């Protein structure tokens, strides 16, 4: 339905009553510059859907006052806006004036403007139009009244005939040259110039007064001239009038000029009064005469002269007020002085004011029944009177209305307005200086309600915030809104929910339970909108910055950990110090922002303060604060004083230094002995940080100097200044030396030693040691005594290993120390005399024995018995394993026991071995003679792992294993046991093959799965059981095939071929046949290419030629292609035989044969002939495989020596050297993947023992990796001793 408006106008003023039609509303334009409206007013929002509202008239251009100097100046105009367009009328001096009926005037009237001007060509008829004019603009909604405009007429100023003026003056006298401008209503501007139109130079001596005259404070002969011309300028009429030149003749003085006191030239007298209106300009003038030229100063007698509101001009002769105010009223004094005296003039300035507004009523829309209050307040000097009119008619001329009243302050109140109250109200303020008027529109209107807020808005807030759901409505009268949530009508019962006056719903302290759909409805209508409320988690600071205590120059790091709702964008992290924002500095590196961290570098005193981390999202903000406190080591104490001296004690006091924000924890008191050579400082005592003195214990016979150091959490202060010296008297020693003992080493000698006493314990001069000794048995109570100044003290010719009582006493000039307690010491030891007897050995198992012996006589030890040593030597194996010489001694192991032990269990022996054993006694001097050797044999044991295990794959389902026997059989091998299984995710059953023949070193397994990998475990066997395994992993090799997906890269003279070689496939050989299509030649073929190469370069091609390539395998073509080489084609030129292929091939073959012969000769010379076992052992070997002479017992057989004397051919009995294999035809065994078991990574092959490894394979072949074997031949490097 269309929006409607209803209004009734014409019950006030000159308007008549009628009904307005229903029109769409576009907008309402109100008077600008008005103060804030009253609460009852209506403001039509810009988004209210209605157009073409009636508008009351508003004067947009006021008629202006004018002074008419010519007929062209006679124009009076007025402009106003309104809807419908306003109608204009005029009054002159309070009477109706219709310029359209006057034949001397012409009217220009357009929509919104009205102007009239004269059609007369002379000024005389215009004098009748002088007066005060007011413009009235009216339409249906009221009448607007303009300000009063005054029209005056005047004639342009003109010069009268003047006589030429000549003035004479004596040098030093004062002169005034008068201008006398013609009278006019216009303010003239005066310019004094010469005949060349150059301005007369003004100065403190020569200046122009406000009256236009030229004043000379005193004249000089240079002022004589006959062209002083006054030019009068009138800006309004754009006229300049030039007066007659004035001649000035200055008579020079024949005598010395007399100085003159200052005298006022303008104004005269001592006091003047000025009246000014607020907002106008005022100039006070003070022109003086005198010799020398006086200086002028200004002051305000009743207050401070404002420098900002006043300007001094004309060389301080004028004081100008621009925009003068009431505060500028008062007394001002001008003072002129020179060397002869001074003169003053006082001005009394009175400032009054024409009326001006302090509060203007605002034009508003109102709904029927509301109360209108129009506040109109003005000020002025004297105070203005306030009067009201309605549509230009004074209230006194309108019938009284009981609803209308006026307040004492001038406000108009109209209650219970209706449509007939629509009008324009004029408020007028008047005093003797003028009248001001303002128009105020009161528009009573009814508008249908509308909801201006969009439907379906979503409001997102965080927990704890205040949510405001908008429901902006407009209408006249004001609509009432209702809110509902999810069909619940009781939401306003919740104390957190409030309905605001603008219709919005406010929810305080929002929680997640407030989420949902809300509906706003206008009461008694079907108008409604909905709003969705979404509540997110509030932003929180989980870990705020900490309070940091930082030393100057260090770096401080603040960390701010926070949590933001995942639906929000990453927040802005703003850091502040004491409320001020921090910005990252890329030049000074002062502040660095790294994620949640703020790094403050080179902390100084300016960095102290509270640091705040602000986590800012688009919805909320959280913050946390920490601080930086600058701490440092304390300053040292001062003013050290020694007081209260006592026996061996004094009191030291001090004054604490600055703590630097870190309390002192303790004080360290240090001393230096001035009598000591070093005079170094040492700590004496420590006291708590709240103490300022300490009682210090002292030693006798010392010269003390003290100092104090403060300690806080940061560190130690510098030491304080040292105290004065304090000396203590000498006394006898307080104690004797400690740790008195015998350090006798040599036989027949007693060495008495002790810890030398500190010099501070001497307690007096002439300090020495008193040494006393006597035998424990046989010498009686007699003590032998001697003196010495330092340890040790040696007594000779005293016998071997005898017991003595010894003691040492401190002695000085004052007396002896306390009586010392004796200690027992012995003279020097000698080696034991006898060996243990009846040594016995009991075999516990193949690797352990128990050794027993009786204790020896202590007298034969000739010293302190420290224990026994068991010497155990392995002589070799019981058999003749692998040809090593039997009974060859190996390293000897020595086992020590305690002094009271008579048996020992020794573990870690080698099985199947011969040993010799002997026992000795030892003391600190050495070992005695060995016991009779005891021989024994260990039992047979389980063998060690085979030394190597190699694999080759002759077919896709076969695997041949090659191995060498164990390095440590630990007995007689009786065979091997092989276990193997597939490597799969689930448990695979273990397959077992037993080899009964110990000489077998290879085995072929068939019917293996070609797609699987296997793990093999091989163990040796003796009568004692199965040994440790050697473990390997591997898989069979698949049949080879020529490559597929060959890539070509063509150059000028070659083509590069590349392909991906297949894993676990045998190598196959193929050839490339190529034909040059350009030359018409024959097919050529390449050498055989190995499929495992993955790359081949075919060379010798002709640039810029087309080639056909054919790839063959077993005389079958498996791929063909065409290529074109790069470059420009060339014609083949016949050359000599030296460049032919057959010649180059022949020469290459000869060179290759010669090289092979040289290599064979070198090998025969370096390896041929027989060499001894010793040479074999000492020959070059792998550093990891070389036997260590001090760890193993080697045995060699004659068979091994014969075998090593004549090495077999490299390719004997080896399939790898067959012709088929060399041709890469895929019939031979190829590399098998091997993975060494991690448990055997530390084992290596030993070529000097066991059967020969698989021949024909290079050392680097994957089928023949370095095999790991124990490096100690079964004998441990150390022997574990079990008691």
Query: What is the 3-state secondary structure of 388-412?
Result: EEECCEEHHHCCCCCCEEECCCCCE
pLDDT tens-digit profile of 825-842? 888 888 888 999 999 999
The answer to whether the pTM exceeds 0.85 is no
Residue 708 or 115, more confident: 708
| Range from 279-288, 350-359, 469-478 carrying the lowest mean pLDDT | 469-478
pLDDT digits (tens, 9 = 90+) for 311-347: 999 999 999 998 899 899 999 999 999 999 999 999 9
315 touches 203 (CB < 8 A): yes
Mean predicted confidence (pLDDT) in 895-921: 92
Question: Which pLDDT score, from 0 to 100, does residue 1007 have?
Answer: 87
For residue 1258, what pLDDT band results from cuts at 50, 70 and 90? very low
pLDDT above 50 for 822: yes
- Over residues 1058-1075, the pLDDT tens digits come to 988 877 777 888 999 998
Mean pLDDT, the chain, rounded, equals 83
pLDDT exceeds 70 at position 464:
yes
| Cβ neighbours of 1013 (radius 10 Å) | 15
d(CA 772, CA 786): 7
Token pair recorded at residue 1208: 């077999």
**At residue 856, does pLDDT exceed 80?**
yes
By CB atoms closer than 10 A (0-12, 13-18, 19+), residue 794 is middle
pLDDT of residue 880: 46
Q: What is the pLDDT of residue 438?
A: 95
pLDDT at residue 889 in the model: 60
Cα separation, 1210 vs 1214, in Å, equals 8
pLDDT digits (tens, 9 = 90+) for 661-681: 999 999 999 999 888 777 789
| 521 vs 255, more confident | 521
Q: What is the pLDDT of residue 1115?
A: 86
Three-class SS state of 1114: coil
Quick one: which of 1090, 1129, 1086 has its CA closest to 1110?
1086
Q: What is the per-residue pLDDT for 1011?
A: 83
Per-residue confidence (pLDDT) for residue 1249, from 0 to 100: 37
- Could you tell me which residues come within 8 angstroms of residue 971 by beta carbon, excluding any fewer than 6 positions away? 911, 912, 940, 941, 942, 943, 1022, 1023, 1024
- pLDDT band per the 50, 70, 90 thresholds, residue 802: confident
Number of C-beta neighbours around residue 90 at 10 A? 21
Per-residue pLDDT averaged across 69-89, rounded? 91
Task: Please give the share of the chain, as a percent, with pLDDT higher than 70.
Answer: 85
What pLDDT, on a 0 to 100 scale, did the predictor assign at position 1203? 37
Which of 983, 988, 969 minimizes the C-alpha distance to 1028?
Answer: 969
Is 633 a residue whose pLDDT tops 60? yes
Could you report how far apart the first and last alpha carbons of the chain are, in Å? 116
Distances (CA, A) of 770 to 519, 740, 743, 796, 855: 112, 12, 18, 18, 42
User: Which pLDDT value is given to residue 775?
Assistant: 86
681-710 pLDDT, tens digit per residue, is 999 999 999 999 999 999 999 999 999 999
Q: Mean of the pLDDT values across residues 763-769?
A: 91
Q: What percentage of the chain reaches a pLDDT higher than 90?
A: 51
Q: Per-residue pLDDT averaged across 979-990, rounded?
A: 86
* Residue 1094: CB atoms within 10 Å: 12
pLDDT of residue 543: 94
Query: What is the tens place of the pLDDT at every residue in 346-404?
Result: 999 999 999 999 999 999 888 888 899 999 999 999 999 999 999 999 988 888 889 99
pLDDT of residue 177: 94
Give the per-residue pLDDT at 1204: 35
**Residue 58 burial (10 A CB sphere; 0-12, 13-18, 19+):** buried
pLDDT computed for residue 1138 by the predictor: 53
Q: From CA 1185, how far away is CA 1171, in angstroms rounded? A: 20
pLDDT over threshold 50, residue 552: yes
Sign of CA dihedral 957, 962, 966, 967: negative
pLDDT reported for residue 1278: 33
What pLDDT was estimated at residue 978?
93
Instruction: Please provide the size of the chain in residues.
Output: 1283
The whole-number pLDDT of residue 487 equals 63
Predicted pLDDT of residue 1223:
37
pLDDT-derived band at 885 (thresholds 50, 70, 90) equals very low
Number of neighbours of residue 1193 by Cβ within 10 angstroms: 25
Residue matched to tokens 């006052």? 65
Task: Tell me the per-residue pLDDT of 1024-1044, one tens digit each, with 9 for 90 and over.
Answer: 889 999 999 888 887 778 888
Report the pLDDT value the prediction gives residue 287, as an integer from 0 to 100.
94
What pLDDT band is residue 217 in, cutting at 50, 70 and 90? very high
Residue 255, both tokens:
């005598």
> 1140 pLDDT exceeds 80?
no
Strands 823-826 and 803-812, by their bridges, are antiparallel
- 57, pLDDT greater than 60: yes
Question: Helix or strand or coil: residue 169?
Answer: strand
Read off the pLDDT band of 1257 (50, 70, 90).
very low
């Amino acid at each position: 339905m269309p929006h409607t408006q209803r209004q009734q106008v014409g019950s006030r003023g000159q308007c008549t009553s009628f009904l307005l039609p229903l029109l769409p509303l576009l907008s309402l334009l109100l008077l600008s510059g008005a103060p804030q409206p009253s609460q009852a007013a209506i403001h039509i929002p810009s988004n209210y859907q209605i157009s073409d509202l009636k508008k009351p008239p508003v004067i947009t251009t006021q008629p202006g006052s004018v002074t008419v100097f010519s007929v062209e100046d006679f124009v009076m105009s007025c402009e106003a806006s309104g809807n419908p367009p306003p109608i204009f009328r005029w009054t002159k001096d309070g009477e109706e004036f219709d310029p359209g009926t006057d034949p001397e005037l012409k009217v220009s009237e357009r929509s919104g403007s009205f102007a009239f001007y004269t059609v007369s060509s002379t000024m005389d008829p215009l004098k009748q139009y002088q007066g005060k004019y007011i413009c009235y603009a009216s339409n249906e909604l009221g009448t607007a009244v303009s300000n009063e405009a005054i029209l005056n007429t005047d004639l342009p100023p003109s010069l009268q005939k003047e006589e030429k003026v000549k003035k004479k003056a004596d040098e030093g006298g004062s002169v005034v040259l008068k201008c006398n401008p013609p009278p006019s209503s216009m303010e003239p501007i005066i310019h004094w110039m010469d005949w060349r139109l150059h301005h007369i130079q003004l100065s403190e001596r020569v200046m122009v007064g406000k009256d236009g005259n030229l004043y000379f404070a005193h004249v000089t002969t240079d002022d004589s001239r006959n062209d002083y011309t006054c030019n009068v300028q009138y800006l309004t009429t754009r006229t300049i009038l030039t007066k007659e030149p004035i001649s000035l003749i200055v008579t020079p003085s024949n005598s010395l000029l007399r100085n003159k006191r200052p005298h006022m030239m303008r104004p005269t007298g001592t006091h003047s009064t000025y009246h000014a209106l607020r907002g106008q300009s005022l100039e006070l003038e003070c022109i003086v005469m005198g010799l020398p030229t006086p200086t002028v100063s200004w002051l305000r007698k009743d207050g401070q002269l404002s420098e900002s509101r006043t300007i001094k001009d004309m060389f301080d002769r004028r004081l100008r007020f621009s925009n003068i105010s009431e505060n500028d009223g008062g007394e001002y004094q001008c003072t002129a002085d020179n060397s002869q005296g001074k003169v003053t003039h006082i001005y009394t300035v009175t400032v009054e004011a024409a009326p001006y507004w302090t509060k203007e009523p605002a034009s508003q829309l109102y709904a029927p029944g509301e109360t209108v209050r129009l506040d109109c307040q003005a000020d002025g000097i004297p105070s203005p009177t306030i009067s009201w009119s309605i549509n230009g008619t004074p209230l006194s001329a309108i019938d009284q209305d009981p609803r209308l009243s006026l307040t004492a302050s001038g406000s108009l109140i109209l209650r219970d307005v209706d449509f007939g109250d629509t009008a324009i109200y004029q408020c007028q303020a008047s005093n003797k200086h003028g009248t001001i008027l303002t128009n105020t529109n009161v528009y009573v209107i009814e508008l249908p309600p509308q909801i201006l807020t969009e439907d379906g808005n979503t409001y997102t807030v965080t927990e704890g915030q205040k949510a405001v759901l908008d429901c902006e409505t407009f209408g006249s009268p004001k609509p009432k809104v209702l809110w509902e949530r999810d069909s619940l009508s009781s939401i306003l019962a919740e104390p957190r929910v409030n309905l605001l006056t603008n219709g919005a719903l406010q929810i305080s302290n929002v929680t997640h339970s407030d989420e949902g759909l809300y509906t706003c409805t206008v009461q008694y209508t079907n108008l409604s909108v909905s709003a969705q409320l979404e509540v997110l988690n509030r932003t929180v600071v989980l870990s705020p910055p900490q309070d940091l205590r930082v030393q100057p120059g260090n770096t401080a790091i603040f960390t701010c950990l926070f949590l933001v709702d995942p639906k929000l964008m990453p927040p802005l992290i703003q850091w502040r110090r004491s409320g001020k924002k921090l910005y990252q500095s890329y030049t000074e590196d002062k502040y660095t922002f790294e994620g949640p961290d703020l790094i403050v570098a080179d902390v100084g005193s300016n960095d102290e303060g509270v640091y705040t981390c602000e986590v800012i999202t688009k919805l909320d903000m959280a913050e946390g604060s920490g601080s930086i406190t600058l701490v440092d080591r304390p300053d040292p104490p001062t003013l050290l004083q020694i007081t209260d001296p006592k026996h061996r004690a004094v009191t030291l006091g001090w004054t604490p230094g600055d703590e630097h924000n870190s309390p002192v924890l303790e004080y360290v008191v240090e001393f230096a002995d001035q009598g000591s050579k070093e005079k170094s400082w040492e700590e004496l005592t420590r006291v708590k940080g709240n103490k300022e003195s300490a009682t210090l214990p002292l030693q006798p016979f010392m010269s003390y100097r003290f100092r104090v150091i403060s300690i806080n959490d940061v560190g130690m202060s510098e030491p304080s200044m040292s105290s004065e010296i304090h000396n203590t008297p000498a006394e006898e020693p307080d104690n004797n030396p400690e740790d008195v003992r015998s350090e006798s080493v040599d036989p027949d000698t007693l060495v008495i030693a002790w810890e030398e006493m500190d010099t501070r314990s001497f307690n007096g001069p002439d300090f020495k040691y008193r040494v006393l000794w006597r035998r424990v048995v046989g010498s009686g109570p007699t003590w032998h005594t001697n003196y010495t100044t330092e340890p040790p003290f040696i007594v000779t010719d005293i016998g071997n290993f005898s017991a003595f009582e010894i003691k040492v006493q401190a002695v000085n000039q004052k007396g002896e120390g306390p009586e010392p307690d004796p200690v027992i010491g012995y003279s020097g030891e000698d080696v034991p005399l006898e060996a243990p007897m009846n040594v016995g050995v009991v075999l516990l198992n193949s690797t352990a024995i128990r050794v027993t012996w009786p204790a020896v006589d202590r007298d034969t030890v000739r010293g302190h018995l420290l224990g026994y040593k068991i010497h155990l030597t392995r002589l070799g194996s019981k058999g003749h394993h692998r040809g090593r010489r039997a009974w060859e001694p190996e390293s000897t192991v020595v086992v020590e026991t305690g002094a009271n032990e008579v048996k020992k269990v020794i573990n870690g022996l080698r099985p199947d071995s011969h040993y010799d054993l002997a026992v000795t006694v030892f003391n600190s001097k050495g070992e005695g003679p060995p016991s009779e050797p005891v021989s024994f044999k260990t039992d047979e044991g389980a063998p060690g792992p085979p030394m190597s295990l190699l694999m080759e794959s002759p077919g896709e389902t076969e695997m041949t294993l090659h191995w060498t026997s164990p390095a440590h059989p630990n007995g007689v091998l009786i065979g091997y046991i092989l276990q193997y299984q597939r490597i799969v995710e689930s448990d695979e059953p273990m397959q077992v093959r037993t080899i009964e023949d110990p000489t077998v070193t290879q085995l072929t397994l068939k019917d293996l799965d070609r797609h699987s990998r296997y793990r093999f475990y091989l163990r040796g066997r003796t009568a004692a059981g199965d040994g440790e395994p050697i473990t390997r992993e591997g898989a069979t090799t698949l049949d080879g095939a020529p490559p597929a997906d060959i890539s070509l890269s063509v150059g000028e003279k070659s083509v590069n071929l590349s392909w991906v070689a297949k894993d676990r496939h045998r190598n196959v050989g193929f050839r490339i046949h190529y034909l040059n299509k350009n030359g018409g030649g024959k097919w050529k073929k390449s050498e055989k290419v190995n499929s495992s190469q993955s790359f081949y370069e075919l060379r010798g091609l002709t640039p810029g030629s087309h080639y056909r390539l054919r790839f063959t395998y077993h005389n079958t073509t498996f791929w063909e292609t065409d290529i074109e080489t790069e470059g420009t084609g060339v014609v083949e030129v016949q050359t000599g035989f030296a460049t032919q292929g057959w010649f180059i091939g022949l020469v290459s073959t000869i060179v290759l044969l010669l090289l092979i012969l040289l290599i064979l000769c070198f090998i025969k010379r370096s390896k041929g002939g027989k060499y001894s076992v010793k040479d074999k052992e000492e020959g070059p070997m792998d550093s990891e495989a070389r036997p260590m002479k001090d760890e193993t017992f080697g045995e060699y057989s004659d068979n091994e020596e014969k075998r090593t004397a004549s090495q077999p051919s490299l390719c004997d009995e080896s399939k790898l050297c067959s012709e088929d294999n060399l041709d890469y035809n895929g019939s031979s065994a190829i590399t098998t993947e091997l993975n060494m078991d991690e448990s055997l990574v530390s084992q290596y092959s030993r070529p000097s023992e066991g059967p020969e490894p698989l021949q024909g394979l290079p050392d680097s072949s994957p089928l023949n990796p370095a095999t790991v074997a124990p490096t100690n031949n079964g004998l441990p490097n150390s022997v574990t001793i079990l008691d």
